[in-house]
Amino acid sequence: MSVWPVKGGDNAGRGTRLPWIGVLALAALAATSPRPSHLPFLATSGPPIRPGIDVWQAGGFEPLAGKRVGLITNDTGRTGRDVLTAAVLANSPAIELAAIFSPEHGFAALLEGDVADSFDSATGLPIHSLYGDTRRPTAEMLNGLEGLVFDIQDIGTRFYTYATTLAYCMEEAARRDLPIIVLDRPNPIGGVAISGPVLDESLLAFVGYAPVPTRHGMTIGELAQYFNDERGIGAELTVIRAEGWRRSMWYDETGLSWHNPSPNIRNLTQALLYPALGPLEWTNISVGRGTDAPFEWFGAPWLNAPVLAAALNAAELPGLRFIPRRLTPAGSMYAGEDCAGIDLIVTDREKFDAGLTAATLATTLGRLHTVEWERSRLPALWGDPAILTQLRSGMDAHAVAASWSRAMQEFQRIRSRYLLYD
């Protein structure tokens, strides 16, 4: 495995960061708004970040220059000037783009459910879906290729499936002695905070490839290195670092344009809240799909929203408030049904704790809606099969979070080997 450019190079760690300001004013505005909404994150004008594609292009596409390659990508794979990576490779005489592979949600990152193979009219190339009949590239798809390139924006949550797609592509590349390059990108929700249960080995699945916590604080390139070594893939892996990014930076501090990584992650607030709300999705609770606030709201027809919101606010979770609001989802769970629900209002993203928030949501729902809340499938995304026993026993949220501490310490020890940024 190689990393290029070398950690600590001339551009490592460049960039400035402006403080989170105006929280009280924004909170007051939200409080008087007819529709509660998330607090907007403040864009900054610091030095631009160079994503991996820019660095790789400037280096002449080594070590795959002159070779036939397949590109695993979607609409988020773009240069710092907002040009699709597929277009860059297709139009360069220094490399031959021969096939495109798309993850969940398709090449345009707009679709839900299984995605069929398609055709890219801009490049004239086939698009092989890795979220349809197969979830890993087949021998037929890889025939004639001399290398693979991965360029997709991850969002820093364990059960977001792009990381598993990467791992499966690495496995197939290793089986065929194909080199694979990962063009790294910033973790949108930062690379410092990590929280939530570490995935138990018994629950490994497409929504969880390796034992990492819900919010892992790693870039897709760092995850690639972790997967390659810790899961024994052994691929000929090269990670092209993003220049200028620091672990403390949020996506709105990078200068890069936001492109929805999937249909229901439409802004940075939703990306931040996703690791906290996501585990509820495989229970009988709507997490806002089919509304104007996916992963910023949750609800159900049977929910006692005023009582639940009061209990959640009484927990005084850091950086978060809860406001009752009724919504009728247009699609997904409870489509067309009036639902009592709750808006999550981020007041301080630096203090927000995804794991403690998830534990508080689960324990409070379990206490107030013991009968109505169907939670038998909760462990699949939660990551720890012990959660059902913990909820039945009446364990409080802080005790649930404390139960992850030993696994989290072990993850932190291993994680430190693969971090590429300061």
Domain boundaries, the chain: 2-261+412-418, 268-405
The Cα 339–Cα 351 span in angstroms is 29
pLDDT tens per residue across span 252-302: 999 999 999 999 999 999 999 999 999 999 999 999 999 999 999 999 999
User: What's the pLDDT score for residue 1?
Assistant: 75
Q: How far is CA 264 from CA 270, 354, 358, in A?
A: 8, 18, 19
108 by Cβ neighbours in 10 Å (0-12 / 13-18 / 19+) ranks as middle
pLDDT in the model for residue 4: 74
Q: What is the mean pLDDT of residues 165-171?
A: 98
Q: Do 194 and 135 contact (CB within 8 A), yes or no?
A: no
Cα–Cα distance for residue pair 269/147, rounded to 1 Å: 36
CA distance 71 to 50: 19
> 63 preceded by cis ω (within 30°)?
yes
φ, ψ of residue 271 to 5 degrees: the values are -60, -40
**pLDDT of amino acid 3:** 83
Of the chain, the percentage scoring pLDDT greater than 90 comes to 89
Q: What is the mean pLDDT of residues 140-164?
A: 98
To the question of domain 268-405 being in CATH 3.90.1150.140, the answer is yes
Rounded percentage of the chain residues whose pLDDT exceeds 70: 90
Q: Say if residue 241 is exposed, middle or buried (CB neighbours under 10 Å; 0-12, 13-18, 19+).
A: buried
CA distances from 22 to 27, 287, 292, 349 (A): 8, 28, 25, 13
Position 204 confidence tier, pLDDT thresholds 50, 70, 90: very high
Per-residue pLDDT reduced to its tens digit, 45-77? 444 899 999 999 999 999 999 999 999 999 999
Helix (H, G, I), strand (E, B) or coil at 315: coil
Cα 138 from Cα 172, distance rounded (Å): 8
Within 10 A of 348 (CB to CB), how many other CB atoms are there? Answer: 13
Nearest by Cα to 395 from 420, 355, 363, 418: 363
User: What is the per-residue pLDDT for 219?
Assistant: 98
Which of 271, 238, 237, 233 minimizes the C-alpha distance to 252? 271
Pairing of strands 125-129, 96-102: parallel
Q: What is the mean pLDDT of residues 307-328?
A: 98
Residue 382 to residue 279: CA distance in whole angstroms: 5
Instruction: Give the rounded distance of the alpha carbon of 403 from its chain centre.
Output: 24
Angle, CA of 221, 104 and 225, to the nearest 5°: 15
Q: Which tens digit of pLDDT belongs to each residue from 330-383? A: 999 999 999 999 999 999 999 999 999 999 999 999 999 999 999 999 999 999
Q: What is the pTM of this model?
A: 0.90
Find, among 195, 158, 202, 163, the residue nearest to 409 by Cα.
195
Query: 3.30.70.20, 3.20.20.220, 3.20.20.240, 3.40.50.12170: which CATH number matches 2-261+412-418?
Result: 3.40.50.12170
Q: Whole-angstrom Cα distance, residue 94 to residue 64?
A: 9
CA dihedral 361, 364, 368, 374 (to 10 degrees): 50
Per-residue model confidence (pLDDT) at position 45: 42
pLDDT recorded at residue 7: 42
Query: Which of 54, 107, 104 has its CA nearest to residue 81?
Result: 54
Which residues touch 31 (CB under 8 Å, ≥6 apart)? none
Residue 35 pLDDT > 90 = no
Q: What are phi and psi of 270, to 5 degrees?
A: -65, -40
CB 383 within 8 A of CB 198: yes
pLDDT, position 37: 33
131 token code pair: 């979220």
pLDDT grade, residue 40 (50/70/90)? very low
